[in-house]
Chains A and B, each alone.
Chain A
Amino acid sequence: MTNIQNALLVMAVGISGVFFVLVLFYFIIKALTKLFPEKGSKAEEHGDIPPEVV
């Protein structure tokens, strides 16, 4: 293959590869934020927040 052909191949695989990996990271972030929610928001979901003292 010529240099230009190799360069175009690097571009095609490179850009696709970067997108592919960052898509993976996107799903990793989504999964982690679902699996390990912030403590406060977990309590809110389960209605565990004690009633306010008036």
Chain B
Amino acid sequence: MQELLVGFASLNYKVLIMFAVGMILIYLAIKKDYEPMLLLPIGFGAILTNIPLSSVLVADKVKDDAVTNLAKAYPGVKDFFTNNLHYIFDASGNAFRVEPGVLQVLFNSGILTELFPVLIFIAIGAMIDFTPLFKNPIMIFFGAAAQFGIFATLIVAVALGFDLKVASAIGIIGAADGPTAIFVAARFAKEYLAPISVAAYSYMALVPIIQPPVIRLLTTKNERLIRMEYKDAKVSKTVKIVFPITVTIVAGLVAPISVPLVGLLMFGNLIRESGVLERLSNAAQNELANIVTLLLGITIGSTMSADRFLNYKTLLILAMGLVAFVFDTAGGVLFAKFLNLFLKTKINPMIGASGISAFPMSARVVQKMATKEDPTNFILMQSVSANVSGQLGSIIAGGLVLALVPMLLK
């Protein structure tokens, strides 16, 4: 009987708080429709991992006398066994070989290896249509300007005491791109992977709430009323095919470390645009995207253990995620206003805010704001162009951060 009650006996207030956190994420996913594909699995994974003595992370522990004796004779080897060979040590110094549970297996094979984020990039690439960008290539610069939030947040994080690698992973929330955030966090800040991922996906869902006040604060009514002419140019299939190949080579030469991100995004896009791989394109957009998203979400949720998640640094990270999105929006809008100082034909500065990678939400938000000011003002196509370029900008920014930070820390 006692064995049946051991789970209840192990409950504490931290576990109950994490249950509540998981349920809040599930509520936001279902009731508010905030990125349900990620927040629901993350929320449920958080509940699973915090059930006391649950075997989702640790299926079994087997005492290893040989390693116990070795660690007692040479205490320095403990870290090696813990970090590399899945051993844990109890208070008495006994070594236990851990048999990983199902979510730990998924974490080891999908997150530590960065497999899940790059597979998602194939799916995203297969879903992206760069045609609006080809028709309005000048909008590509807003995809660069709106990455400002990444670097501004990096500085804020360093000022708050995080080391450069962790601060970079926190700043990447500003990429507004879940897979990029997970990719960088898995390399630079494994211990903060959960709050960084939760922040990235939550704030992406909150773009319709975050961006409008920032845009209104930084623009005048006259600026929001600016109309932009749309010239519908024709784009050949050859351009759509050659573009992903060229971008992969160029981006790879500039930042080789970004090749898994850029290369697989462009691979997905090439599958789509080739016109001869409809089955693979459909599979990438549907089956691959759905399966990997499902596994990715629950695996990230499994990292939200109470001891790791419930500390003030997690709250700081969640707050800085908001800072990142605000700075992104401000960066894009202010860049557009700066350009307007030199341009005869003015750009509606709201379009700068669409340069973040939250596609297509940000473009819709900007069009909605334009329509509110003037129901006959249509800037959707320009916003979509900027939004699509944000996808490129965020991956390039992620690649550059991955390349620069280790160089500076050598």
Binding site for B on A (CB under 8 A): 1, 3-4, 6-11, 13-15, 17-26, 28-30, 32-33, 36-41
Partner of B140, one of A3, A7, A29: A29
What are 21 A-B interface contacts by the 8 Å CB criterion? Answer: A3-B167, A4-B155, A6-B164, A7-B154, A14-B150, A14-B401, A15-B148, A19-B141, A21-B254, A21-B255, A25-B140, A26-B137, A26-B138, A26-B141, A28-B247, A29-B137, A32-B134, A32-B238, A33-B134, A33-B236, A36-B238
User: Nearest 6 CB-CB pairs, A to B?
Assistant: A38-B234, A11-B151, A36-B238, A7-B158, A29-B137, A22-B144
Chain A residues within an 8 Å CB radius of B397:
14, 18
* Contact call B168/A10, Cβ cutoff below 8 A: yes
Interface of A is mostly: helix
Q: Which of B131-151 contact A (CB under 8 A)?
A: 133-134, 137-138, 140-141, 143-144, 147-148, 150-151
Q: How many A-B pairs fall under 8 Å by CB?
A: 117
| Nearest A residue (CB) for B138 | A26
* Contact call A13/B247, Cβ cutoff below 8 A: no
Interface of B is mostly: helix
Distance A40 CA – B235 CA, assembled complex (angstroms):
10
Binding site for A on B (CB under 8 A): 133-134, 137-138, 140-141, 143-144, 147-148, 150-152, 154-155, 158-159, 163-164, 167-168, 233-236, 238-239, 242-243, 246-247, 250-251, 254-255, 389, 392-393, 396-397, 400-401, 404-405, 408-409
Chain B residues within an 8 Å CB radius of A41:
234
